[in-house]
Structure 1
C-alpha cells in the first residue's frame, strides 16, 4: 500500500503541526502517525510518497455492513461504536473513518466529524466522498467557502473525471444559491460525462436561476433523454424545469414574431387570407376550415380556449394548409370523407358496450350522441394521427422559436390522450376494440413526442404485446416516409393504418379534383341538394362499389311495385333506431309525432324537430316513416286508425332489416 501527498494547503490542513518546508520533520511526523506500521517515506520536490512495507487489510467485515445498515436506517448511535471498534482493530481503512465521520455529522457533532474525516484523508487523501463530506460540512454548518474549496478542489485535482463527485459538489453549491461555483463544478462534471442525468438537470437549474431559459430548457430535454426511470425525482424535476422554462419564454412572447411571419407565408402560398378566432364549441383543440371547402375567400383557424397554447395550435393548423397546398400543386391532394351511412354498422360492432349504457338507464339520446361521437372520434384519429406526425416534424425542424410553446402544447395533448384510454371509468364503458385502436394511435403520437423532445410518455401506458407490435409497425412505416416525404404521401399512411386497424370501411379518400367536379356546390341549387338528400336519405352515394351494385339489384327487384323507396329506406333507419328501445319510450315518441301531426305532416317539407330525438332534423317523409314505425312497434292495434299508406314500405323495410 502507498499514499501520495503534495506539499500544499491541503496537506497542511491534514497535518497542521508539521512544518512542510522541513523534510526531516515531515518524515518524522508521518512515521509517528502511521506507527506501528513500517513505512518508507520519500520526498521529491512537492511530492511525498509513503510506502508501507507491511501487508494491510483492505476487506470489509460483516460488522462494517451492519453499521452502514444502521446508518441507512438513521440509527447512528448504534452504528458509531461499531465503527470505532473496527478502527481500533484496523485504522488503515479510509472508508471506515469516513462512515464514522458521516454518522457524527448526521448526529450533529460536526467537530468530531471533521476530526474523523481528517483521519480518513490521512489514510487516503484521494477519497472523494471524504473530501466532499468535509467541504459540505464547512459550507453548510460554518459558511466557510474557502475551507470547503480546499477539499473540493482536491477532488478535481486528484480525479478530474469523477463526474459523480463533481456533480455532488455542484449540487451543494446550487442548493446554497452559489450559482457561479455550482456551474464551475457541474461544467467539469458535464465535460467528464455529458449523459449523466443529474448533471444536465443541475446545469438546467443553474441556468434557470440565471434567467437563461433557453439553455435551461435544452438541459431539461437532455435530462429526459438521459434518464431512463420515468418516475424518478430527477425525471420529474426535469419535466417541471422544461415546462417552467418554456412557459417563461412563451410569456416573453418568444415565437410570436415567427408565427406572424408564418401566417403571412401561408397567405402568400395559398393566395387567401388566414383568419383566426376562438370557438369553445369545437370538439378538438383547434381546427382549420379550408376556404375552398366552405365557399369562402379566406381560411379560418378556430382554437378552443380550453387549450391556452394557441400559438402552437395555430401553427399546426397552418401546416395542414401547407401540406394540402403542396399536394394540390402536384395534383395529388385528397379529401377524407367519413361514411355516415356506416354508422349503424359501427353501432352494431359496439352493441355490447351500448347495452351497458342502457342497463345504467342512460337516456337513449345520450347513447346516440355517444355512438356518434365515438364514430367520428376514431375517424378523427385515423385522419389526424399520421398527418400530425409530419406536421410536428415540420414545426420542430423549421421553427425553433416555436419549440417552447410546441412542447407545452404537445405535453398537454399527450396527457389528455393518455387519460382518455387509461381512466378506469372510461375503460369500463368503452368498447374494448375501439379503445385498443385509440390507444395505438395515442402511443404512436407519444413515441413521436419522445423522438422530438425526449419525454418518455409512451412508458406511462399499460400495453399488451399485440398493441406494441402494431405501434412498432406504424412507427416503422412512418419513418420510411419521414425524412423524404413527397407531397400527398401522408394519405398513404392514412389508408394503410385505417386498413390495418380495420377501420377503412368507415371512410374513403377521394381525389380532390374529381370529388369537387361532381360535388361542386356551384353546380347545384339548394333545391337540388334537398331533393338529392330526399332521394338518397342514407347517403347511398357514399357506398363502395360492391354495396352500390347490391343496392342497384335490390331497387331493380322492387321497382314497379308502387313502393316509395325513400320512405322504405327511412323506415330501415327507424327500425334500427328503435331496435333496443323500450316500448314505453317508443310510445312517447309516437305520441309526440302524433301531436306534431295534428295539423298534418307535409311530405315535401323540411326541418321537422322532435324533443325526444334531439339534434336531428326530419324531412316530411322521414318523419312519416318514424311515425308509422313507432306505432307499428309500440301499438300495432291502433295502426289501421292512423290511415298512413305505407304498409308495403314497412314490410319491405322489415325484410331489409331482418326484423
Structure 2
C-alpha cells in the first residue's frame, strides 16, 4: 500500500508537532512514522521532489499481526519456549522486522542466554538503529551480566538521543546505575524522568532503591509505598516495591528506638486516665498483645501485655494503648461499653454448630481437636469486638504518629497474613464450620481493605474470598468510612453491633453500658463488705453485671403479670421464711454475683451453692434474685432494674390469701 502526500502547509497542519518545530522535515517524518506504525510494522518513508511516499506492508501486517500479539501474550505469562519458537518462525518469514529480533533477544535474556540475546538485539539494531527497547535491553545486559557499565551507557545514551523525553529509558538507566554503585549519576536520570512523567510508578521504586543505596531508610520506605500506590497491578514491579518497603521498614526498626514512641504515648495516657500504665512481655500470649484495664481487673494500674515474637512489636503496644485512649474518651461522654461473653453465649454458639461437632466425631477426630474447634467461639468474638474499633485505632495512629508507620506497616502485614492462613489452611478448612470461617474471613477482608487504603498492598485475593464475602467486606468498609467522617467517642460500638447483626452474630456476646456495670458491681462489693460476707466466686463480680437484663426485659414485654415468675416468687418466699436474715443476705449477694455472669430466663441447670441439692431455671434464679434482695436490701431493689414488681406484689397477695 502506498500513500502519497505533497509536502505543503496543509500536510504540516495534519502533523502540528512538525509545524510547531518550524515545518521541520525530520520531525514530520518521525510523526508520520509513528502514526502509520502498526505493532512492530513501521512504514517505509521516502521523499522525492517535494513528495512524501509512505509504503505500508498491508499483506504482511494482516498475516503476522495476530501471531506477533500471541507471542507477546506468551511472554507475559513467561512461556518463553513456545514464544521463542513462534517468533523465530516470524523472523524467517520477515527478517527485516526489527521488533521480531528485539523480542527474541529479550526472550533469550530471560532464559539466561545473554550472548545469544545480544546477537539478536544487534540484529534488531541493524534493521532499525533507533529501536529504543533494543538499545535499552542491550545496555541492561551489558550492565547486569557483563558488568560493563561504560559500554552499557553508550547504548543508553543512544536511546535517549533518539527519544530525549523517554522517561522509561531514563528510569531503567538510573536503576542500573544504582545497582552498579553510581547513585549520583542515577539521581540525574531520575530527576529528568520525574520531570517528564511524575506519575510513572517505576520512578518511585527507583527513588526507593536510590535512598536505600544512600542509607536513607525512611525515604526508601516512603518511596516504596508510593510505588505500591502508583502500581495497582500485582506484577514484578509491585513485588519488588513490596520487598523494598519491608526491607526499609525492618531497617528503620533496627535503627530507631520504638520504645520512645511508646513511652511518650503512655505518659500522655497516664495523665489523661489518672492511673499508671505497666507494660510487660508475655511469650505465652496467644494473641499479639492485649490490655487489661484497671477497672476490670481490680488493679490500681492498667496492664499491657505483648508477645515479643510478633514483628514490629512497638506498634502492638501502641495499638493496645490506643484501646485505652478510646475507652477513656468514651467514658468521659458516658458512652463507654463493655463487651462480655459468658457460658450462656458459648452454649448458644455450640448449640448452633452441634451438627458440625457430631460430624467431626463421626469422621474420627478426637475430643482435643473438637475442643480446638470450639475455641473458634473466642476467636470469632475477638473479631466481632476488635474489627470496627481497630479500624478507628489504626487510623488514629496513622494520622497522629507518622514515625510509627514502618512499625504499623510490618505489624499489620504480619497480622493480615496470619488471618489469611487461619481461613485458607487446608487442615483448618477440614475441621472448621464453613459458616464461621466465612464470617471470620469477612472481618479479615475488612482489615485487608483498610491496609490497602493506607499502604497500597492488595492482599484481598490471597484470602480466596467468594464474591459474596468480598461484597460484604466492601459494604462494611464503606460503612466505616462514612462513620469515620463524623466519629464521636463511643460510636465504634454502634458499628460493632450493626456488623454483628448483619452477620447474625449478636447472640454470642453482649455490650453493656459501663456505668450500669460499675454501679451494680460497686453496690455488691460494698454490701459484701458491710455484711462481712466472703463467698466462693466473689472474684467473679468483675464480670459485667446485667448483660442479660435486656433479654429478661424483652421476655417480659407485653405481659401484665408473668405467672411463671409469680409462682417461683411464692416458692422463694416459702423458702426464705425459714432462714435467718444473715442467711438470706448471703444468698442475695451470691445470686447477685451469679447474675453478674448473665442469666438466660429460658435456660435450665443453674445452681445456687447456698441452696444445695437442686437446680434452677433462669426464671427461677431471677425470681429468687428479686425476692432475696427485696428482703435483704429493699432500698437497693430498684437498682437491679428487674421488671417484676407486679409479680412480687401478686406473690405477696397469694401468700396472704393462703394464710402465709
- The TM-score normalised by the length of structure 2 is 0.68
Give, in whole Å, the separation in 2 of the partners of 1:267 and 1:482: 26
Q: CA deviation at 1:539?
A: 10
Report the counterpart of residue 202 of structure 1 in structure 2: 206
Report the counterpart of residue 618 of structure 2 in structure 1: none
Report the counterpart of residue 355 of structure 2 in structure 1: 352
The question of whether the paired residues in 2 share the 8 Å contact of 1:83 and 1:100 is answered with no
Q: CA deviation at 1:333?
A: 1.7
Is 2:567 the partner of 1:557? yes
Give, in whole Å, the separation in 2 of the partners of 1:183 and 1:354: 63
Q: CA deviation at 1:447?
A: 0.7
Give, in whole Å, the separation in 2 of the partners of 1:391 and 1:309: 17
Report the counterpart of residue 324 of structure 1 in structure 2: 327
In 2 relative to 1, CA 542–117 (structure 1 residues): closer, same or farther, beyond 3 Å?
Answer: closer
Q: CA deviation at 1:256?
A: 3.4
Report the counterpart of residue 316 of structure 2 in structure 1: 313
1:469-480 alignment, distance < 5 Å: 469-480=471-482
Q: CA deviation at 1:385?
A: 0.8
Q: CA deviation at 1:261?
A: 1.2
Calculate the aligned-residue CA RMSD, in Å.
4.3
Report the counterpart of residue 8 of structure 2 in structure 1: none
Q: CA deviation at 1:546?
A: 4.5
Give, in whole Å, the separation in 1 of the partners of 2:87 and 2:568: 96
Q: Residue 73 of structure 1: which of 74, 81, 91 is its match? A: 81
Report the counterpart of residue 548 of structure 2 in structure 1: 543
In 2 relative to 1, CA 52–137 (structure 1 residues): closer, same or farther, beyond 3 Å?
Answer: farther
In 2 relative to 1, CA 377–248 (structure 1 residues): closer, same or farther, beyond 3 Å?
Answer: same
Q: Secondary structure at the match of 2:334?
A: coil
The question of whether the paired residues in 1 share the 8 Å contact of 2:278 and 2:301 is answered with yes
Q: Secondary structure at the match of 2:305?
A: strand
Report the counterpart of residue 488 of structure 1 in structure 2: 490
Report the counterpart of residue 129 of structure 1 in structure 2: 133
Report the counterpart of residue 589 of structure 1 in structure 2: none
Is 2:506 the partner of 1:504? yes
Q: Residue 166 of structure 1: which of 163, 170, 179 is its match? A: 170
1:35-54 alignment, distance < 5 Å: 54=53
The question of whether the paired residues in 1 share the 8 Å contact of 2:178 and 2:213 is answered with no
Cα deviation digits, residues 33-56 of structure 1 (max 9, x gap): xxxx996699xxxxxxxx985543
Instruction: Between 193-202 and 262-271, report the one with greater CA deviation.
Output: 193-202
Report the counterpart of residue 452 of structure 1 in structure 2: 454
In 2 relative to 1, CA 136–268 (structure 1 residues): closer, same or farther, beyond 3 Å?
Answer: same
- The TM-score normalised by the length of structure 1 is 0.69
Q: Secondary structure at the match of 1:389?
A: helix
Q: CA deviation at 1:390?
A: 0.5
Cα deviation digits, residues 513-546 of structure 1 (max 9, x gap): 222011126424387574788999x999542444
Q: CA deviation at 1:474?
A: 1.4
Q: Residue 413 of structure 2: which of 400, 411, 418 is its match? A: 411
Give, in whole Å, the separation in 2 of the partners of 1:364 and 1:133: 62
In 2 relative to 1, CA 217–560 (structure 1 residues): closer, same or farther, beyond 3 Å?
Answer: same
Report the counterpart of residue 381 of structure 1 in structure 2: 383
The question of whether the paired residues in 1 share the 8 Å contact of 2:84 and 2:104 is answered with no
Is 2:73 the partner of 1:56? no
Report the counterpart of residue 433 of structure 2 in structure 1: 431
Size of the aligned set, in residue pairs, is: 527
1:132-211 alignment, distance < 5 Å: 132-136=136-140, 139=143, 145-211=149-215
Q: CA deviation at 1:108?
A: 2.5
The question of whether the paired residues in 2 share the 8 Å contact of 1:64 and 1:86 is answered with no
Q: CA deviation at 1:252?
A: 0.7
The question of whether the paired residues in 2 share the 8 Å contact of 1:246 and 1:408 is answered with yes
Q: CA deviation at 1:262?
A: 1.1
Q: CA deviation at 1:489?
A: 1.0
In 2 relative to 1, CA 363–39 (structure 1 residues): closer, same or farther, beyond 3 Å?
Answer: closer
Report the counterpart of residue 262 of structure 1 in structure 2: 265
Report the counterpart of residue 285 of structure 1 in structure 2: 288
Is 2:247 the partner of 1:237? no
The question of whether the paired residues in 2 share the 8 Å contact of 1:201 and 1:220 is answered with yes
Cα deviation digits, residues 434-485 of structure 1 (max 9, x gap): 2222111111111111111111112322223332332222112111121341
Is 2:118 the partner of 1:119? no
The question of whether the paired residues in 1 share the 8 Å contact of 2:383 and 2:443 is answered with yes
Give, in whole Å, the separation in 1 of the partners of 2:108 and 2:102: 10
Q: CA deviation at 1:384?
A: 0.9
In 2 relative to 1, CA 545–268 (structure 1 residues): closer, same or farther, beyond 3 Å?
Answer: closer
The question of whether the paired residues in 2 share the 8 Å contact of 1:98 and 1:120 is answered with no
Give, in whole Å, the separation in 1 of the partners of 2:414 and 2:544: 37
The question of whether the paired residues in 1 share the 8 Å contact of 2:373 and 2:431 is answered with no
Q: Secondary structure at the match of 1:323?
A: helix
Structure 1, unpaired ranges of 5+: 3-36, 43-50, 567-602, 605-617, 627-659
Cα deviation digits, residues 138-182 of structure 1 (max 9, x gap): 546775545543442343344344333333333433443443344
Q: Residue 465 of structure 2: which of 448, 463, 466 is its match? A: 463
Give, in whole Å, the separation in 2 of the partners of 1:441 and 1:114: 52
In 2 relative to 1, CA 165–275 (structure 1 residues): closer, same or farther, beyond 3 Å?
Answer: same
Q: Secondary structure at the match of 2:280?
A: strand
Structure 2, unpaired ranges of 5+: 5-43, 557-561, 577-589, 592-606, 616-660
In 2 relative to 1, CA 179–356 (structure 1 residues): closer, same or farther, beyond 3 Å?
Answer: farther
Report the counterpart of residue 108 of structure 1 in structure 2: 115
Give, in whole Å, the separation in 1 of the partners of 2:382 and 2:434: 18
